[in-house]
């Protein structure tokens, strides 16, 4: 629409432009979250755990299971939440270790080490696990203890901590 000098825009044209602008803004406000909901699953990271330091190698004696605590930190905006977790560490050699998530795979109780049997036992439901490989020796747990990946950095043991779904035979990250 061209406006000649001396002529103003009609009220009807002005309201048409304003209405169009408002509809465009509202449409964009509604469309952005909808498009984001469809795209966001492709941008999410896979559940690969978090690397946490467990301490110097000298802290772990050969063939003696040791429970070690870590604190997972989750940041959500300005809020920082610390969640305590436990792992069982067994040193098998100079650079060799077995690291197990300390949660029973049945319902998530923290397993205890029983020295006279050399087993991990669940205090809640009688689950018994091998210290050799974490396999189930007795009770209701549907799978063995979850093993965790580890590495050695600058003389310290570092574990890739992950939680897994409880009560199912498959090892699926939680």
Distance CA 130, CA 134 (A): 5
Average pLDDT over residues 42-70: 85
Question: Please, what is the average pLDDT of the chain?
Answer: 89
In the predicted structure, residue 13 carries a pLDDT above the cut 90: no
The pLDDT assigned to 155 comes to: 93
Report the C-alpha gap between 36 and 15 in whole angstroms. 32
Least confident of 38-52, 54-68, 147-161: 38-52
- Considering the domain 50-161 in this protein, what is its CATH number? 2.102.10.10
Q: For 98-127, how does the pLDDT look when each residue is reduced to its tens digit (9 = 90+)?
A: 999 999 999 999 999 999 999 999 998 899
For 136, the 3-state DSSP assignment is strand
Average confidence (pLDDT) over 57-70: 95
Token pair recorded at residue 63: 């063939």
pLDDT of residue 86: 97
Confidence of residue 37 (pLDDT cuts 50, 70, 90): confident
Confidence of residue 46 (pLDDT cuts 50, 70, 90): very low
Nearest to 133 by CA among 161, 98, 170: 98
**Quick count: other Cβ atoms within 10 Å of Cβ 58?**
8
Please identify which residue in the block is written with the tokens 């197990």.
100
Both tokens assigned to 120: 């991990």
Half-sphere exposure of residue 136: CA atoms within 13 angstroms, side-chain side: 15
- Asked if 125 contacts 106 with a C-beta cutoff of 8 angstroms, the reply is yes
Domain ranges for the chain: 1-44, 50-161
Q: Measured in whole angstroms, how far is the alpha carbon of residue 159 from the centre of its chain? A: 13
Tens-digit pLDDT profile for residues 129-163: 999 999 999 999 999 999 999 999 999 999 999 99
The pLDDT tens digits for 72-101 are 988 888 899 999 999 999 999 999 999 999
> Is residue 70 a contact partner of residue 87, using CB atoms and an 8 Å limit?
yes
More confident of the two residues 34 and 114: 114
């Amino acid at each position: 629409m061209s406006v000649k000098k001396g002529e103003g825009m009609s009220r009807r044209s002005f309201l048409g432009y304003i209405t169009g602008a408002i509809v465009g803004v509202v449409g964009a406000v509604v469309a952005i979250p909808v498009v984001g909901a469809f795209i966001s699953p492709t941008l999410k990271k896979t559940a690969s755990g978090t690397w946490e330091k467990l301490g110097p190698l000298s802290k772990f004696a050969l063939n003696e299971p040791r429970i070690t605590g870590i604190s997972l930190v989750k940041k959500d905006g300005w809020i920082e939440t610390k969640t305590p977790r436990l792992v069982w560490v067994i040193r098998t050699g100079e650079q060799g270790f077995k690291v197990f998530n300390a949660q029973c795979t049945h319902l998530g109780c923290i397993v205890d080490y029983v020295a006279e049997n050399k087993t991990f036992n669940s205090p809640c439901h009688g689950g018994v696990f091998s210290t050799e490989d974490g396999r189930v020796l007795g009770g209701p747990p549907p799978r063995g203890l979850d093993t965790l990946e580890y590495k050695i950095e600058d003389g310290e043991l570092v574990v890739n901590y992950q939680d897994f779904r409880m009560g199912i035979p498959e090892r699926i990250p939680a």
